Structure 1
């Protein structure tokens, strides 16, 4: 399947068909970023099945750092488990900007009296631990803030 065919199937497909296209992306012989618009479209939805399919191996290889960080936040916000995010450990390691975004998100959640997703602590701990060993990285808390700390 080529990129135009994948885009057509995605655009005209049902939710299940769109999910199938997203899951097939890593197995297709596409140029580097041909299907990034499909992944980005899926990440704009509130359909957690599409979001989970969108953060697979294709996204791990082809999303820009900014888009990938936003995808991680989308997963946390919608309840998509971190296990759906392909290669999250590799991409999160040493990502001080992701640590900052996660810390801000945790503060917002606690300030609003809402729970902080447990997966947030897992990613934040990884970014913080690695960031602490880098002399140029900004460190962040290694856990979500409690209501009193925010």
Structure 2
């Protein structure tokens, strides 16, 4: 964010740190109060990197978490309510905020984001929180969902370290299905297959 955006954000962060209940009011208003738009002009939808409003909302969540005025359970409840009551932008921002505020028990929000067909939600759901907490099977299906809806692999946290036999098999099946239907194959699918190297027989 620019210095101007940071200057606008600072008093809001202080406000929610002093009174966490204000997060419910200020979280939806961030775009108007702080600003909105891409932080990378080559990524206008904020698939690879958070947008200005994503970062501002995440900063408010971090301020509440750092204040220790809410218990983990209370913060979990508040973030769940912000997600469930929010529009697409607010849902995306909650998912982005999880990357920096590692609160157990919010995988349900990540899984909900992955069920969406909104590429922005899918991308936000596959961040660092998902890398830390999603089981292998759900994570693999998240990667395939990215291929289906056009989310770049660069949006998936630490994906290069999690490619395994099953993901390679799933990706190869996806590629074969697209080719059989005469449909274009995303280059990211080929990146997965190019990275994968099966273990020699007997090696684990």
Say whether the fold is shared (TM-score over 0.5).
yes
Q: Which residue of 1 aligns with 2:118?
A: 47
Superposed displacement of residue 41, structure 1: 0.3
RMSD: 1.3
Native 8 Å contact 2:98 2:129 kept in 1: yes
Structure 1 moving runs of 4+ over 3 Å: none
**Larger-Rg structure:** 2
Could you tell me which of 6, 11, 16 is aligned with 2:89? 16
Q: Which residue of 2 aligns with 1:79?
A: 150
Structure 1: state its 5+ residue gaps: 138-150
Superposed displacement of residue 15, structure 1: 0.6
3-state SS of paired residue (1:86): coil
3-state SS of paired residue (1:27): coil
Q: Which residue of 1 aligns with 2:100?
A: 27
Query: Counterparts in 2 of 1:1-150, with a 5 A limit?
Result: 1=65, 2-31=75-104, 34-92=105-163, 95-127=164-196, 129=197, 131=198, 133-136=199-202
Number of residue-to-residue matches in the alignment: 130
3-state SS of paired residue (2:140): helix
TM-score by length of 1: 0.82
TM-score by length of 2: 0.61
Q: Which structure carries more relative contact order (alpha carbon 8 Å, separation 6+)?
A: 1
Native 8 Å contact 2:102 2:129 kept in 1: no
1:3 and 1:80 map into 2 onto residues whose CA distance is: 27
